[in-house]
Structure formats: structure tokens, C-alpha cells
Amino acid sequence: MFVMIVSVLLPRFALATALGDRGELLQTPCALAPEPGGVQKVGEVSPAAEALGLHPGLRLGESLARCPELTLVPPDPAGVADRWERLLVRLESIGAAVEPERPGLVCFEARGLLRLHGGIDGVLAAARRALRAPARFGVAPSRFAAVAAATRARSRRPEIVSGSGRAVARAYLASLPVSLLRARAALAELPDALERLGVRTLGELAGLPSAVLADRFGSLGLLAHELACGGDSPLHPRPPGEFLRESLDLPEAGSGVQLERGLGLLIDRLLARRERRGRTIRAVVISAVLVEQGGTWREQVVFREALSDPVRMRLALTPRLALMPAPADALRLAVERFGPLASDQRGLLEAPAEERAGRLREAIRQARVVAGPDAALRVLTVDPDSRFPERRAVLTPFEG
Amino acid sequence: MSGPRRLGVPRRVAVEPDAAGRPLEVDGRTVDSVRESWLIEDRWWTERPLRRRYWEIVTTCGRNEIVFVDLFSQRWWRQR
């Protein structure tokens, strides 16, 4: 079957996003600092740092030994996720069914878009216009070959591998270095081992018997061999998503109890959003902007079962706040995936209290239809012991 | 709802203080007595510290009010 995969690469995406308006730092040796509490390895590095022998995944101590003047940039995972989501939505707006590999690298199948945009050049031009960001494009018959092509492309000149089939992809990859395998997260450690064994190009790797690689590296070796031979798994495009998020600025740099109350407020507001349309929530992302320009923090939470009960959501989400490395200036809660509609089936014997609560919910719903979302509010105690009265309580949507 | 709405937000009030800063008139009403006065300082570790001198007063018409003066701007506010 004819396959044409387009790979879009935005080099140093996470680093550039974390730098924000301090882009001039890219001209100096700088690298993304390790995530707080994570493995002490640097993230993406600037070209100047790369010239000094640094690469993503290098241990922090070794990085500083190689480059004492290295500037460490606090990571901004929430900012990266936001900006990446915006770019993916822009790509989807041209009809591309995208499969994001990691922030800064995404693939899509171009076959269905060729007629729509007038050939592969038209598809690439449309993608470039939609992205409105400097990107490199690679086109090849397999996903891995397309990613390899994107790394060799220039910002204005895409790398297009003509033809289809494994043989074409294998021939294209033959002269390329095995270090390209690092593009696949599972194979990040393999290129060093292969180079130590004298295997420097993907062509040499493809020429080895697969049984030998399986003996030495197990399933990872077989995967690397398959990729070098021009094969790869088919694309699994992500389902089109909806973006539903609530955020809360914390002027007093909240932590502890204040953060918990803020989170409760965000849960209430998220559940009160009309766009939810009665659906349960399967997964959410909590993120925070940390104080003193300490970057951002982001945590994905998948619930054990899809739910729309604020009490259970609080129970599941509150312990995650303890993982936050510093007090926060702003707290955000976004829906990542919805679940099925919340069940509305009535019990055989309805308790009077539940009946009253049901009537109350219905009354609130009707009041909101008439007077807007502010029709029913409740007082939420945020910081009851504050010495400043205006910090003690806020108004939040009433959830029956 | 665009964001959480704070309750008990201070509102501007016209206060006539004496030389020592003690309120004599609040919104044109003469102060009969001062029940309590206290000083609050907070957020001194940030670039926007707060310093307020609170006064709980009773006016001659019987109103009980809490007013404070922002010690940086010297402006008076009423708070419930």
C-alpha cells in the first residue's frame, strides 16, 4: 500500500519555549535544567552547547564539567504543552490526522491530503502556513525515515524521499548515523552501545542478522533493526480533542491549604462549564506557574474510572499538589479526556434528601439558563485565618 | 464566571483624621469613640508589601465601622 508520511520537526522546541523572550540565550551555551525531583539529566541544549559536546540526556554533573559556563534554564512543561497543543490544532486545521511523538516532533499521513492541497508540495506549504513557526519537514515511506529526513531538512527546503515501500526507506536510511535512533525514546540508550561495537550507520545495522541483535539487545535490538530496514509501525493519529481549562491566579503565592482550596474551586468551575455537556471526566492535567520565575509544573492524572463527582475528584487530585516543587503564582486544571455521559438513572426507592438535592440541581440549572452561569454561587472559604478580610472567602459556582 | 470573586473587598471612604492619625470623621459622620485599633503588616518579603492601620469606630449616629489607612499611600478604606 502506498504510504507517505510527513514528519514536522521544530528543533529545540522545549528549550525555545522555556526561554520565552530571552531568545538571545540560544546563542550561548544553555540547556534545559532537570525537572525538579527527576533524574539529574539536562534536557534540550542550544547549538553553542552542542558544539561543546553536550546533548540531551547527558548527566548534569558531566554537562557542567564539559561546559562550566553553561546556563541552566528552568523547564516550562506547562508552557510547552500549551504551545504544542496550539500547533497540533493548527496542523489539524488543514485536515492532518496527527500523531505527536514528543513536543516538537509530529507525524501525519499525507496520502489523503494530496488532492485537497494539490500534491505533496501543496500539503507542506499548507502545513507551513498553518504552523506560523519555523519548522523542518521530512517526507518518506516510513515514520522513522520521515523523522530522519526532517532532521536533515533545512528550514526552507523539505527533504522528500521519493518512492514507496521498505526498500526505498532502507536505501535512504543506509548512510545515516545510528544516533538517529535517539528520536525513538525507547531506543535512546542504544546508539552509544552500537557505536562502541563499531556499528555507525543504519545501513550497517540493517545488514546485521536480526537474531544477533535480539541476542545482544533483546526486543530493542529487533525494533532498531526493523527501523533501519525501512519498517515501522503504522501511525496512530490522536482523536480530535476538546480544550477545556480553568485557571486561578494566586496573588499570595499559594501553597498547602490555600492550594487545596484553590484546586477545589477549579474543580467546581470545570464541572460547571457548559461545554462538559454532562459528560464524566477521564483524565485531567494539573499545572502551575511557580513563584520567582521558577518555571512551571505539570502533572497528568488519569482517574481510576471516569467521574464527575467533585468530592472524589478532590480526593484523587489533592495528593498531587504535594509534588509541586515550589509555591505557585497560578494554578490550572484542564480536561485531557472525557468519559461517557454521567448516568442519570433513578433508583427504585428515592430517598427524600436526594429528591430535594435533585430539585435543587434542577432549579440551579434553570436559573443558570435564564440568568447565566453567575445565577447560583456559593461562598468558598479560601483562607479563613487570614488577617486580611478580603482574602478569607471567594464566590464560586454552586454545585448541588 | 470569569474568575473567583473576592468577598469583603475594601472600598474607598472619606476620613478626616487628627494629627495622630486617629479618625475624627468618617463619610461626614463624627466619630464618637474608637473601640479598637491595630496594625497589620504582611507580604513584606515581596515587592508589594502591605501595611495597614485598622480602626474600629462608632459614630455619633450609632454606626459601627471598620476603616483602615494604607500606610504607604495614606488612603483610607472601609472594610466589612
Distance CA A211, CA A353 (A): 68
Q: Which pLDDT score is estimated for B31?
A: 94
Three-class secondary structure of residue A207 per DSSP: helix
The reply to whether residue A388 touches residue B50, judged by beta carbons under 8 angstroms, is yes
Among the partner residues B7, B43, B79, nearest to A393 by beta-carbon distance: B7
Q: Which of B6, B12, B44 to mutate to test the interface with A (most CBs of A within 10 A)?
A: B6
Say yes or no: A293 contacts chain B, CB-CB below 8 A: no
Q: Which of the four pLDDT bands, split at 50, 70 and 90, describes residue A255?
A: low
Per-residue cell: A378: 456559593
| pLDDT tens digits, A261-294 | 888 889 998 888 888 888 888 889 998 888 777 7
Q: Which of the four pLDDT bands, split at 50, 70 and 90, describes residue A211?
A: confident
Distance CA B76, CA B70 (A): 6
Q: Which residue of B has its CA nearest to A272?
A: B1
A387 interaction partners in chain B (CB closer than 8 Å):
40, 42
Percentage of chain A exceeding pLDDT 90? 8
Distance CA A294, CA A35 (A): 11
Averaged over A232-255, what is the pLDDT? 78
Q: Which pLDDT score is estimated for A165?
A: 82
HSE value, Cβ hemisphere, 13 Å, CA-based, for A103? 21
Q: Which residue of B has its CA nearest to A371?
A: B1
**A214-223, A368-377, B9-18, B20-29: least confidently modelled range:** A368-377
Distance CA A169, CA A188 (A): 21
Per-residue cell: A80: 510547552
Q: Which pLDDT score is estimated for A345?
A: 53
Q: Using DSSP bridges, classify how beta strands B11-12 and B76-78 pair: parallel, antiparallel or unpaired.
A: antiparallel
Q: What is the DSSP letter of A35?
A: P
HSE value, Cβ hemisphere, 13 Å, CA-based, for A56? 17
Q: Which of the four pLDDT bands, split at 50, 70 and 90, describes residue B2?
A: low
Altogether, the residues listed in chain A come to a count of 400
CB A238 within 8 A of CB A100: yes
Query: In this model, does residue A115 exceed pLDDT 90?
Result: no
Average pLDDT taken over every residue of chain A: 85
Three-class secondary structure of residue A364 per DSSP: helix
**A106-120, A140-154, A358-372, B4-18: least confidently modelled range:** A358-372
Percentage of chain B exceeding pLDDT 70? 96
Asked whether the CA dihedral B69, B70, B76, B78 is positive or negative, the reply is: negative
The reply to whether residue A377 touches residue B1, judged by beta carbons under 8 angstroms, is yes
Among the partner residues B4, B43, B46, nearest to A394 by beta-carbon distance: B4
Q: Which pLDDT score is estimated for A390?
A: 84
The alpha carbon of residue A211 and the mean position of all alpha carbons in its chain are separated, in whole angstroms, by 36
Say yes or no: A24 contacts chain B, CB-CB below 8 A: no
Query: In this model, does residue A253 exceed pLDDT 70?
Result: no
Query: How far apart are the CA of B5 and the nearest CA of chain A, in angstroms?
Result: 5
Distance CA B65, CA A92 (A): 59
Burial string for A53-78 (b: 16+ CB within 10 Å, else e) reads: ebebebebeebbeebeebbebbbbbb
Please identify among residues 7-36 of chain B the ones whose CB lies closer than 8 Å to any CB of chain A. 7-10
Query: How far apart are the CA of B74 and the nearest CA of chain A, in angstroms?
Result: 18
Query: In this model, does residue A351 exceed pLDDT 80?
Result: no
- Among A77, A84, A134, which Cα is nearest to A104's? A84
- Would residue A95 be called left, alpha or beta, if left means φ above 0 and alpha means ψ between -120 and 50 degrees? left
Query: How far apart are the CA of B54 and the nearest CA of chain A, in angstroms?
Result: 11
Would you list the DSSP string of B16-27? Answer: EE-TTS-EEEET
Averaged over A43-69, what is the pLDDT? 87
A272 interaction partners in chain B (CB closer than 8 Å):
1
Amino acid at residue number A153: A
Three-class secondary structure of residue A101 per DSSP: strand
Query: In this model, does residue A344 exceed pLDDT 60?
Result: no
Say yes or no: A308 contacts chain B, CB-CB below 8 A: no
- Among B78, B34, B79, which Cα is nearest to A386's? B79
| pLDDT tens digits, B47-71 | 888 999 999 999 998 889 999 999 9
ipTM: 0.77
- Among B5, B6, B72, B12, which Cα is nearest to B40's? B72
Per-residue cell: A45: 541544549
CB B78 within 8 A of CB B14: no
Q: What is the DSSP letter of B42?
A: E
Backbone angles phi, psi at A394, to 5 degrees: -135, 165
Amino acid at residue number B18: D
Query: In this model, does residue A34 exceed pLDDT 90?
Result: no
B40 interaction partners in chain A (CB closer than 8 Å):
387-388
Distance CA A23, CA A9 (A): 19
| pLDDT tens digits, A184-199 | 878 888 888 898 989 8
A385 contact partners, CB below 8 Å, separation of at least 6: none
Amino acid at residue number A311: V
For chains A and B, CB pairs below 8 A equal 47
Averaged over B13-35, what is the pLDDT? 92
Say yes or no: B79 contacts chain A, CB-CB below 8 A: yes
Q: Which of B2, B5, B7 to mutate to test the interface with A (most CBs of A within 10 A)?
A: B7
Distance, first Cα to last Cα, chain A: 55
The reply to whether residue A393 touches residue B6, judged by beta carbons under 8 angstroms, is yes
Q: Which pLDDT score is estimated for A8?
A: 92
* Residue in the block written with cell 427524600: A352
The reply to whether residue A269 touches residue B1, judged by beta carbons under 8 angstroms, is yes
Query: How far apart are the CA of A242 and the nearest CA of chain B, in angstroms?
Result: 19
Averaged over A78-96, what is the pLDDT? 85
Three-class secondary structure of residue A250 per DSSP: strand
- Among A296, A239, A247, which Cα is nearest to A89's? A239
